[in-house]
């Protein structure tokens, strides 16, 4: 087994380190002349121009990848996107049909609720696109269009590299769609593709310095409960950070839209409760900082994930993880890495079975 782990202590850590290559393997075959090309997946500009609405359906981490996709697609292409949990979608008589694209995201391609959602969407006349990691899986076989992610086998139950390539595909898809509907021009599309291609190197840089995430993790192990907060893309990312942590550290955690805190959740803040705030989106930064001050004033211990270059008020923040400079839109691909590492080290320090957390299965093939 040690050989399977390639010298890493756990599969999860190995898979976190495999992310730069997983991104390259997934995106490079779909880039031609600096522009996205998804033709081999059945996706052409003509096909894309048909869709008035996009519905993303998935479970768990894959649903969080879809949430990042929603922000990116809506921002770049101005096509409305809704995201649903597969077990909810399938039982609420969903309003999808002809003219809609339903995107099913799944690492395993076998999740029972996601497969049922795919079949339902097809029966209602929607076109379906699967974004799947496992070759030849049921969801991959049954969808009308298919984009494989090339993360390679993911062994750790807590998904890391599969999430990374799912969002990489969502970006590529959003770029192609935005170009197809004429909302961005070729120059802008090339600029975005180039940035996407730069992400593996930036992630490698973060993986070379893991000490700060270890230190942050050591400050979390005695907590009973945690909050993750953010706005916009940072909120989408907070959801994944929070899920990762609770899956493997067994510390109760939830993610909250920072601006919504004051409508209820702020009552949970007690002395020393850790709050992990993600603030990578320049336009929303000051808003999130003011939410940080609100929780800090109520005793929270604030850990801020932001750019290294951001000056933070030492009275408002206890610990900071500094990210390298990068484009706001693509920042989730970078900022998720410290969140994965914080969850990983917290689990290790608590002596948990990192790769096989209690009560969880890698793939849920029963309802
Ligand atoms: C399980 C796994 C999660 C995963 C979810 C969806 O709950 O423990 O890590 O995100 O299923 O799996 P899928 O294979 O459809 O992406």
Given ligand 1 and candidates 59, 154, 361, which is best to mutate, with the most ligand atoms within 8 Å of its CB?
59
Contact 82, 56 (CB under 8 A): yes
The pair of three-digit structure tokens given for residue 166, joined into one six-digit string: 């799912």
Q: Provide φ and ψ at 227, rounded to 5°.
A: -125, 140
Gap between the Cα atoms of 161 and 235, Å rounded: 20
Q: Atom of ligand 1 at shortest distance to CA of 134?
A: 14
ipTM of the assembly?
Answer: 0.97
The DSSP secondary-structure symbol of 50 reads T
Q: Is the Cβ atom of 61 under 6 angstroms away from ligand 1?
A: yes
The pair of three-digit structure tokens given for residue 124, joined into one six-digit string: 């209602």
Q: Which one of 122, 287, 356, 362 is the catalytic residue?
A: 362
- Catalytic (active site) residue 14: no
Length of the chain: 367
What 3-state class would DSSP assign to 144? coil
Q: Is the Cβ atom of 352 under 6 angstroms away from ligand 1?
A: no
Rounded to the nearest integer, the mean pLDDT of the chain is 96
What 3-state class would DSSP assign to 330? coil
In order along its 367 residues, the chain shows pLDDT tens digits of 556 999 999 999 999 999 999 999 999 999 999 999 999 999 999 999 999 999 999 999 999 999 999 999 999 999 999 999 999 999 999 999 999 999 999 999 999 999 999 999 999 999 999 999 999 999 999 999 999 999 999 999 999 999 999 999 999 999 999 999 999 999 999 999 999 999 999 999 999 999 999 999 999 999 999 999 999 999 999 999 999 999 999 999 999 999 999 998 899 999 999 999 999 999 999 999 999 999 999 999 999 999 999 998 889 999 999 999 999 999 999 999 999 999 999 999 999 999 999 999 999 998 8
Q: What distance, in Å, lies between the first and last C-alpha atoms of the chain?
A: 31
Q: How far is the CA of 187 from the centre of ligand 1 (A)?
A: 37
Residue nearest to atom 4 of ligand 1 (CA): 60
- How much is the pLDDT for 255? 97
pTM: 0.97
Q: Is the Cβ atom of 106 under 6 angstroms away from ligand 1?
A: yes
Gap between the Cα atoms of 336 and 129, Å rounded: 25
- Burial code (b: 16+ CB inside 10 Å, e: under 16) for 130-141 equals bbbbbeebbbbe
pLDDT above 70: percentage of residues in the chain: 99
- Burial code (b: 16+ CB inside 10 Å, e: under 16) for 58-86 equals bbbbbbbbbbbbbbbbeebbebebbbbbb
């Amino acid at each position: 087994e040690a050989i399977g782990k390639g010298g890493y202590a756990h599969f999860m850590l190995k898979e976190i380190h495999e992310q730069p290559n997983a991104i390259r393997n997934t995106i490079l075959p779909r880039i031609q002349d600096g522009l996205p090309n998804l033709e081999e997946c059945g996706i052409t500009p003509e096909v894309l121009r048909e869709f008035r609405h996009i519905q993303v359906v998935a479970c768990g981490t894959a649903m969080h990848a879809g949430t990042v996709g929603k922000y990116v697609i809506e921002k770049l292409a101005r096509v409305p996107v809704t995201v649903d949990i597969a077990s909810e979608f399938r039982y609420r008589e969903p309003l999808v049909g002809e003219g809609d694209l339903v995107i099913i995201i799944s690492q395993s391609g076998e999740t029972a609720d996601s497969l049922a959602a795919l079949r339902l969407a097809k029966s209602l006349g929607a076109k379906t696109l699967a974004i799947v990691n496992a070759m030849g899986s049921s969801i991959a076989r049954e969808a009308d269009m298919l984009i494989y992610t090339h993360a390679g086998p993911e062994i750790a139950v807590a998904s890391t590299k599969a999430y990374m390539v799912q969002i990489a595909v969502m970006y590529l898809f959003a770029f192609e769609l935005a170009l197809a509907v004429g909302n961005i021009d070729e120059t802008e599309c090339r600029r975005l593709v180039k940035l996407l291609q730069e992400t593996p190197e930036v992630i490698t840089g973060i993986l070379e310095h893991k000490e700060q995430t270890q230190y942050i993790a050591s400050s979390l192990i005695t907590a009973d409960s945690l909050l993750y907060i953010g706005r916009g893309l940072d909120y989408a990312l907070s959801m994944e950070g929070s899920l990762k942590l609770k899956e493997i550290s067994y510390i109760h955690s939830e993610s909250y839209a920072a601006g919504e805190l004051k409508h209820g959740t702020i009552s949970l803040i007690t002395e020393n409760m850790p709050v992990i705030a993600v603030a990578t989106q320049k336009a929303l930064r000051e808003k999130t900082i003011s939410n940080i001050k609100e929780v800090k004033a109520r005793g929270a211990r604030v850990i801020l994930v932001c750019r290294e270059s951001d000056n933070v008020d030492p009275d408002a923040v206890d610990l900071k993880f500094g990210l390298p400079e990068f484009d706001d839109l693509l920042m989730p691909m970078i900022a998720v890495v410290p969140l994965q590492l914080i969850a990983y080290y917290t689990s290790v320090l608590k002596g948990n079975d990192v790769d096989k957390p209690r009560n969880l299965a890698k793939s849920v093939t029963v309802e």
